[in-house]
Structure formats: C-alpha cells, structure tokens
Chains A and B, each alone.
Chain A
Amino acid sequence: GAVVSQHPSWVICKSGTSVKIECRSLDFQATTMFWYRQFPKQSLMLMATSNEGSKATYEQGVEKDKFLINHASLTLSTLTVTSAHPEDSSFYICSARDVTVLYSNQPQHFGDGTRLSIL
C-alpha cells in the first residue's frame, strides 16, 4: 500500500488564492521530505528539502515566500503556494525518507502528486 499520502490530488482555484498541499508518511517517520515540481519534458525539479523541526532548504531560484514549506511533525510536511498565479499551475510531488542524506540506498517514497490548476 501507499506509504506516502499526498492531498489533494487535484485542485483548481482562482488566481490570488493560497493553496496548501499535504504530504504524509503513513508507516514511517520521515525526518526529511522533498518537494518537486514537474516541468515540460517530464523532468522534476527539486524545489526544497524539508527537515522536521527546522527551516526548509530551498533550491536556487525557488521563492521562499511564494512556496511556504512546513515540516511540523515527523509524518507531515506541507507546501503552501501563496497568492497563486496561472504560471504556478503544475504537478507537485512530494517524497519522503527516514534519513537525512538524499543520495543513499534508503528507499525514497513518493506521493501520488497534486495537480494544481490556477485560473
């Protein structure tokens, strides 16, 4: 069964509103969660790394005030797209693992993704 739950799976909202996406690890404690955004040609851009109890680490070019990430517990990270605009429309995916090192043999579990459509 799914080990990472992402909610909602699809959201449509008006320009200017804020949208919150949740990423939950269901059967393990995720010390680290990652947020990706899908771009054309199918590549996924890493937006930020979310560590429980500390500030997220954002990748270069990602606006911290635009994409608010909160990792309040070992099983939940949230991504809030603030004042969303049509150019923010995309597919957002979270992933989680229970170690802090990104590049390791530990399995990385992905959520099913959230399709965000801003009108």
Chain B
Amino acid sequence: AQKITQTQPGMFVQEKEAVTLDCTYDTSDPSYGLFWYKQPSSGEMIFLIYQGSYDQQNATEGRYSLNFQKARKSANLVISASQLGDSAMYFCAMRESSNTGNQFYFGTGTSLTVIP
C-alpha cells in the first residue's frame, strides 16, 4: 500500500481564497511525523509545516495550517488567502522511525495554480 497518497494532481484557486490540499497516509507506527513541502519551479523543496502524531492541536504556520485527523489518517494542508506566489507543487511526506534511522515517504504531489 502507498504510504502517502495525494489524490489531487492539479488544483486551481482564486487569489485570496483558501484552498485545501489532500493527503492521506498509512502507517502502523504509533510515532510518526507529517510534513508538507512546497516545490517552486526552481526545484528546491521548501519545508512548510510539521505535525507530530502525538500533537494534540493542529499545526499552524502563518497562512498554512494542517488539518490533522488521526483516526482517518489524513493530514490536509490548508492555505488561506492564496497568493500568486503560492503557485507550485506541494508534497506531503511522512517520517517513520526505523532501525536504520528515520525514513521518509513522499506523495506524488499536487500542482497548485493560483489564478489572479
């Protein structure tokens, strides 16, 4: 089974509107971390937000918030007040602990386009 699933290959949002990017994950580890990255056309992967599996509250970082629903194993990214500069690829990732150290798993990404 896929560890991370992003079902939206492409999304469009009007500038200043909010948008939700979906992410579901699969793990049997009790301790794990969930990440969202932004990949602009330059190719780098910019860390946006992190949610630990034991965190009680949903993570927020500025205009980014993570809608963490543990029972449903979902970790959707919400971007409020979209800006043109938000147009990019967005990747959801999960970190599990293993005997070889932390292991990362990435989704296939969602391409977000912000329309003026």
Contacts and interface: CB of A to CB of B under 8 A. Distances in A.
Interface of A: 9-10, 34, 36, 38, 41-46, 49, 59, 91, 93, 95, 102-105, 107-110, 112-113, 115
Nearest to B95: A42
Q: Is the interface of B mostly helix, strand, loop or mixed?
A: strand
Contacts of B47: 41-44
Contacts of A113: 103-104
Given A46-B44, A49-B43, A93 B104 contact: yes
Contacts of B104: 38, 91, 93, 110, 112-113
Interface in B83-116: 88-89, 91, 100-106, 108-109, 111
Interface residues of B, number: 27
Contacts of B50: 42
A115 B46 CA distance: 20
A13 to B, nearest CB: 15
Contact of A108 (B46, B89, B101): B89
A59 B100 contact: no
Contacts of B45: 36, 43-46
Given A44-B44, A46-B44, A103-B41, A108 B100 contact: no
A9 B103 contact: yes
B56 interface: no
Contacts of B57: none
Contact of B111 (A43, A105, A109): A105
Contacts of A46: 42-45
Given A36-B45, A42-B47, A43-B47, A107 B108 contact: yes
B32 interface: no
